[in-house]
């Protein structure tokens, strides 16, 4: 390391999303006469990307093993409904209620992830279809459990988690907006996931399985356990999103999480440089991928771009990002 060629390609090697993002920020900020880089606007972007970003983090683990989890959106919805029902049914208050509810949601999400993984690891079925099956089942169940109606939370213990802010007393005097609580959740998830993926044996095995599953197996890696865990992690991330949505809307609704969340979270992962072929990717990349997509929407709103056109632009950006990433890889392969 530290050779000339490695410094030359350093900026190419780090996640492409970072580079594109910086260029994008400069252009948009000029076009929007500085409104884009207003601290309050940036905080709003962060807040908006929280949900897709957390879904994307779970998805990143799965995609690095060359799998995919298409059930995350409807799992967020189902866990939200279940958590709301639970919170309304138990006689707990305050922080105890919040923690118990979260624990129930996480357990349900983990179980769903386990069910997702079973046919994949035991029968070698493609996750594309097994997680579509879970998508449908979870969606149906959340409508059954909720009778199709949002379930309003009776307790107000969750309100702060959904719309509260923190560190206002510190940031306020500095003329900075205080941090929304969901953003803090996102940061916590990002940090934990990043450590898990880059600093633990489990994380190393995730990459090894995505790079060459047979070589990993012959090296003694418990492939079944690791692959099961990545779907469990994805289910847990979906449950956290279900929890945050529930707190945000003060209700568990079968309709939240079933919109663009799934595809935009996958887009965030891919734009963030994680390969759908497996073996390559990063949590920080997924964050920047989500940030790029969220900023793009925000910027187009600031610039008064028609909302239908926004979709077209978003699609084009996703395509551009993966095409550039492929070209970058070819360039690196040639120069190596």
Partner 1 sequence: MRGIGKSFPGVRALDGVSLTLSAGEVLALVGENGAGKSTLMKILAGATPADSGTILVDGVLVRIDGPRAAEALGIGMIYQEFNLVPELGVVENIVLGNEPTRSGLLDAAAATDRARRVLEELGIDLALHTPVGRLAIAGQQMVEIAKAFTRKARIIVMDEPSAALSEREIERLFALIERLRAGGVGIIYISHRMEEIARIADRVTVLRDGRVIETRAVTAFPQDEIVQAMVGRRLDAHFPELPPVAADAPTVLEVRGLRRQPVVGPLSFQVRAGEILGLAGLIGAGRTEILRAIAGADRAQSGEVEIDGAAVRIRRPSDAIEHGVAFITEDRKAQGLVLGMSVRENVTLAHLAHFVNRWQLVDRAAEAHATAGMIDELHIRTPGTEQLVRNLSGGNQQKVVLAKWLLGKARILLFDEPTRGIDVAAKAEIYQLMVNLVRNGAAIVMVSSELPEVLGMAHRILAIRAGRIAAEFSHNDATPAAVMAAATGAAA
What part of residues 278-317 is at the interface with partner 1 (CB under 8 A)?
A: 279-280
* CA atoms of 25 and 285, how far apart (whole Å): 17
Residue 336 near partner 1 by CB under 8 A: yes
Residue 3 near partner 1 by CB under 8 A: yes
For the bound state, the minimum distance from the C-beta of residue 84 to partner 1, rounded and expressed in Å, comes to 36
Task: For residue 206, give both structure tokens.
Answer: 């995730």
Choices 12-20, 103-111, 144-152, 192-200; region in contact with partner 1 by CB under 8 A: 192-200
In DSSP terms, which residues pair with 165 in a beta bridge?
180
What part of residues 213-232 is at the interface with partner 1 (CB under 8 A)?
A: 214-222
For the bound state, the minimum distance from the C-beta of residue 231 to partner 1, rounded and expressed in Å, comes to 21
* CA atoms of 126 and 124, how far apart (whole Å): 6
Residue 127 near partner 1 by CB under 8 A: no
Task: For residue 136, give both structure tokens.
Answer: 């449908």
Contacts of 140 (CB under 8 A, 6+ apart): none
Cα Rg for the chain, rounded, in angstroms?
A: 20
Residue from the set 154, 199, 311, 330 that interacts with partner 1 by CB under 8 A: 199
* CA atoms of 104 and 186, how far apart (whole Å): 20
CB nearer to partner 1: pick between 81 and 209: 209
How many residues bind partner 1, per CB under 8 A?
25
Choices 9-17, 140-148, 205-213, 228-236; region in contact with partner 1 by CB under 8 A: 205-213
Asked whether the beta carbons of 35 and 43 are under 8 A apart, the reply is no
In DSSP terms, which residues pair with 252 in a beta bridge?
151
* CA atoms of 94 and 99, how far apart (whole Å): 9
Residue 200 near partner 1 by CB under 8 A: yes
Residue 1 near partner 1 by CB under 8 A: yes
Residues that bind partner 1 (CB under 8 A): 1, 3, 195, 199-201, 203-205, 207-208, 211-212, 214-222, 279-280, 336
């Amino acid at each position: 390391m530290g050779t000339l060629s490695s410094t030359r390609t350093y900026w190419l090697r780090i996640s492409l999303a970072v580079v594109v993002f910086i260029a994008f920020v400069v252009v948009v900020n000029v076009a929007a006469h500085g409104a884009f880089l207003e601290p309050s606007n940036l905080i709003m972007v962060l807040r908006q990307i929280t949900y897709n970003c957390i879904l994307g983090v779970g998805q990143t683990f799965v995609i690095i093993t060359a799998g995919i989890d298409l059930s995350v959106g409807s799992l967020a919805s189902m866990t939200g409904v279940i958590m709301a029902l639970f919170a309304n049914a138990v006689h707990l208050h305050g922080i105890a209620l919040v923690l118990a509810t979260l624990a129930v949601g996480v357990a349900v999400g983990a179980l769903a992830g386990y069910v997702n993984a079973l046919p994949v690891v035991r029968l070698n079925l493609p996750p594309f279809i097994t997680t579509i099956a879970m998508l449908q089942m979870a969606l149906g169940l959340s409508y059954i459990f909720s009778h199709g109606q949002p379930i309003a939370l009776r307790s107000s213990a969750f309100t702060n988690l959904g719309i509260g802010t923190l560190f206002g007393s510190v940031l306020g005097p500095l003329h900075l907006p205080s941090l929304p609580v969901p953003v803090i959740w996102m940061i916590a998830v990002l940090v934990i996931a990043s450590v898990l993926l880059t600093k633990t044996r489990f994380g190393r095995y995730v990459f090894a399985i995505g790079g060459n599953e047979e070589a990993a197996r012959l090296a003694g890696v418990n492939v079944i356990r690791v692959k099961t865990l990545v779907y469990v992690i994805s289910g847990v991330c979906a449950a956290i999103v279900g929890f945050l949505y529930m707190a945000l809307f003060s209700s568990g609704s079968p309709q939240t999480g079933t919109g663009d969340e799934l595809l935009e979270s996958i887009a965030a992962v891919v734009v963030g440089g994680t390969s759908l072929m497996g073996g390559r990717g990063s949590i920080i990349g997924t964050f920047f991928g989500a940030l790029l997509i969220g900023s793009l929407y925000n910027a187009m709103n600031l610039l008064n771009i028609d909302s239908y056109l926004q979709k077209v632009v978003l699609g084009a950006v996703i395509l551009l990002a993966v095409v550039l990433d492929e070209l970058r890889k070819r360039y690196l392969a040639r120069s190596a």
